[in-house]
């Protein structure tokens, strides 16, 4: 079975958090949106929520979980957080099996999704968005392969 790798940086202030035995859960899970831009109010919800998620000044909870498709930017971000004095900085190595059907884990590349939504990526987030993907609501426990402590 094929699978895709991701790396997620997290610290004590992260909105989406890993919980042992449960996986990684987004800060807000009360919404019912999907990545289907042509279904119901998804385009409106995604178009409102994703720019907020990408705006680092916005500290509200969203239904998104960010991860990188490349290990290097995750390591750079982890070092930045450690230098900024953040506590309990970790990198989660995530492996997502490429399944079809209802048990698949859905994710989208940030630049592509924002383009499809007709939205601009905030200036400060643009560089990181090159390798950034977002997941909706949660990443299952079985997909979190290993956690690396950074401080």
Is residue 145 a contact partner of residue 74, using CB atoms and an 8 Å limit? Answer: no
Is residue 126 a contact partner of residue 55, using CB atoms and an 8 Å limit? Answer: no
pLDDT of residue 41: 77
Residues recorded for the chain: 151
- The string of pLDDT tens digits covering residues 8-40 is 999 999 989 999 999 999 977 666 777 777 777
Share of the chain above pLDDT 90, in %: 56
Higher pLDDT, 30 or 55: 55
Is the model's pTM score more than 0.85? yes
pLDDT of residue 43: 83
Cβ atoms < 10 Å from Cβ of 109: 15
Range list of β-strands (E), 26-143: 64-68, 90-97, 107-109, 132-136, 138-139
d(CA 96, CA 107): 10
Share of the chain above pLDDT 70, in %: 93
Domains of the chain: 3-149 (3.90.210)
From 113, 62, 89, 125, select the one nearest 7 (Cα to Cα): 89
Confidence of residue 104 (pLDDT cuts 50, 70, 90): confident
Whether 1 has a pLDDT exceeding 60, the answer reads no
Cβ atoms < 10 Å from Cβ of 98: 10
């Amino acid at each position: 079975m094929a699978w895709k790798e991701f790396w997620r940086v997290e610290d004590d202030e992260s909105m989406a958090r890993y919980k042992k035995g449960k996986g990684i859960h987004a800060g807000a899970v009360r919404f019912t949106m999907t990545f289907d831009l042509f279904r119901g109010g998804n385009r409106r919800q995604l178009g409102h929520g994703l720019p907020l998620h990408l705006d680092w000044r916005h500290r509200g909870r969203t239904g998104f979980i960010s991860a990188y498709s490349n290990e290097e930017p995750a390591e750079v971000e982890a070092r930045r957080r450690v230098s900024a004095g953040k506590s309990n900085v970790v990198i989660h190595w995530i492996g997502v099996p490429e399944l079809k059907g209802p048990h698949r884990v859905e994710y989208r590349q940030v630049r592509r999704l924002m383009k499809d939504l007709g939205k601009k990526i905030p200036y400060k987030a643009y560089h990181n968005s090159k390798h950034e993907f977002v997941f909706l609501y949660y990443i299952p426990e079985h997909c979190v392969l290993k956690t690396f402590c950074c401080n």
